[in-house]
Amino acid sequence: MSRLHPLRGCPESRCRVTTNRAFYNQSDALIFTAQLLDKIPPEKLKNQVWVLHNHEPPQWSKETMHFHNEHWSSKFNWTMDYRADADIRTPYAIFQMKNETFLKRERRPSRNYSQIWSRKEGAVVWVVSNCRTMSRRMKYVREMSKYIQIDIYGHCGNKQCSRSKDESCLNILSKKYKFYLAFENAFCKDYITEKFFRYFNSDMIIVTRGGGNYSGVAPPETFINAADFVSPQRLAQYLNELADNERDYVDILRRKDQYQPIAEEYPIVRNGNIVYMTYHYDAVPMCDMCERLWHVEKYKTVYTDIGKWFDKGLCFPPKDLSS
**pLDDT per residue over 28-64, tens digit each?**
999 999 888 888 999 999 999 999 999 888 765 555 6
Q: Are 7 and 290 in contact (CB under 8 A)?
A: yes
In this prediction the pTM is: 0.90
pLDDT at res. 104: 57
pLDDT at res. 271: 87
* pLDDT tens for each residue of 196-222: 999 999 999 999 999 999 999 999 999
CATH number of the domain encompassing residue 193: 3.40.50.11660
Average pLDDT over residues 269-282: 85
Rg (CA), the chain: 22
Is position 273 within any domain? no
Average pLDDT, the chain: 90
Query: How are the residues of the chain apportioned to helix, strand and coil, as percentages rounded to the nearest 5?
Result: 35, 20, 45
Residue 194 and residue 216 share a domain: yes
Is position 168 within any domain? yes
Residue 176 and residue 69 share a domain: no
Is position 277 within any domain? no
Is position 276 within any domain? no
CA 13 to chain centroid, in Å, comes to 27
| Kind and range of the H or E run holding 100 | helix 100-106
Average pLDDT over residues 231-260: 97
pLDDT at res. 103: 55
Residue 142 and residue 84 share a domain: no
* pLDDT tens for each residue of 7-30: 887 888 799 999 999 999 999 999
Average pLDDT over residues 153-162: 86
Residue 302 and residue 201 share a domain: no
Residue 288 and residue 208 share a domain: no
Residue 151 lies in domain: 94-262
CA 291 to chain centroid, in Å, comes to 25
Residue 66 and residue 118 share a domain: no
CA dist list (Å): 35 to 55, 91, 157, 252: 9, 17, 28, 38
Residue 11 and residue 70 share a domain: yes
Is position 75 within any domain? yes
Distance from C-alpha of 63 to C-alpha of 52, rounded to nearest angstrom:
17
Range with the poorest average pLDDT among 6-10, 100-104, 154-158, 198-202: 100-104
Residue 321 vs residue 176, higher pLDDT: 176
pLDDT at res. 101: 57
Residue 108 and residue 22 share a domain: no
Q: Are 156 and 205 in contact (CB under 8 A)?
A: no
Distance from C-alpha of 276 to C-alpha of 77, rounded to nearest angstrom:
32
Residue 153 and residue 31 share a domain: no
pLDDT at res. 265: 87
CA dist list (Å): 252 to 1, 201, 239, 271: 42, 12, 13, 42
What total of structural domains would you count in the chain?
Answer: 2
Confidence of residue 164 (pLDDT cuts 50, 70, 90): low
Residue 254 and residue 303 share a domain: no
Tell me the β-bridge partners of 107: none
pLDDT at res. 313: 65
pLDDT at res. 323: 41
Is position 224 within any domain? yes
Residue 63 and residue 78 share a domain: yes
* pLDDT tens for each residue of 170-182: 899 999 999 999 9
Is position 274 within any domain? no
Residue 192 and residue 107 share a domain: yes
* pLDDT tens for each residue of 256-272: 999 999 999 888 888 88
Is position 231 within any domain? yes
